[in-house]
């Protein structure tokens, strides 16, 4: 790895519930010029497709920028199978071991200033972007997630047009 590195340690579940936080944090770090990202899965119990798609969108953004990498460390067999099954081993550097993430603060995002409708819309947008990234990373994922994409697009269209 070259240059300053952003470390993300996933504790518990990597899911659609915390994908928005990851997306926002990664966007801020990219805006600040960081190009090396390490995601530590040592304490990650499971990942859903939205979370994996959010990581994929970070890796695709780095590719678009022309340099930088997303590294996955302490990736257990189950996580490795999930990531490889979606073709993400093509855009991530995946390692079974590696350095431990330095001590870091927890990333908590509060929704106090958002209405439940706004939260739901943001969550749906994050889920849609994540699944689109999975399809961009590996075109064969389009068959896997076609129904999910259709549902999320309809849901967002309905949300927007019902206002």
Domains observed in the chain: 5-161 (3.30.750.24)
Taking CB atoms within 8 Å and a gap of at least 24, the contacts of 156-161 are: 156/121, 156/124, 156/125, 156/128, 159/117, 159/120, 159/121, 159/124
pLDDT of residue 104: 63
Angle between helices 16-31 and 49-65 (to 10 degrees): 10
Beta carbons within 8 Å of 93's beta carbon, 6+ residues apart: 69, 70, 71, 72
State the 10-residue block means of pLDDT for the chain, 163 residues long. Answer: 80 94 95 94 95 97 92 93 95 85 60 75 94 96 96 86 63
Phi, psi at residue 90, to the nearest 5°? -80, -25
Q: How far apart are CA 131 and CA 10, in angstroms?
A: 20
CA-nearest of 73, 65, 66, 63 to 6 is: 73
pLDDT of residue 29: 95
pLDDT of residue 117: 84
Phi, psi at residue 113, to the nearest 5°? -90, 10
Maximum distance among all alpha carbons in the chain?
A: 49
């Amino acid at each position: 790895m070259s240059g300053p590195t952003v470390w993300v340690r996933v504790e518990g579940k990597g899911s659609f519930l915390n994908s928005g936080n990851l997306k926002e944090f990664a966007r801020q770090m990219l805006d600040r010029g960081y190009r090396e990202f390490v995601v530590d899965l040592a304490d990650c119990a499971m990942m859903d497709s939205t979370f994996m798609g959010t990581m994929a969108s970070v890796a695709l953004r780095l590719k678009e920028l022309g340099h930088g990498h997303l590294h996955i460390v302490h990736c257990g067999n189950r996580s490795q199978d999930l990531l490889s099954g979606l073709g993400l081993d093509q855009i991530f550097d995946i390692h079974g071991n590696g350095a431990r993430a330095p001590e870091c603060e927890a990333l908590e995002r509060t929704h106090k200033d958002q209405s439940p409708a706004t939260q739901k819309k943001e969550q749906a947008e994050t889920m849609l972007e994540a699944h689109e990234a999975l399809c961009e990373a590996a075109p064969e994922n389009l068959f896997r997630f076609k129904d999910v994409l259709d549902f999320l697009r309809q849901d967002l269209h309905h949300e927007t047009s019902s206002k």
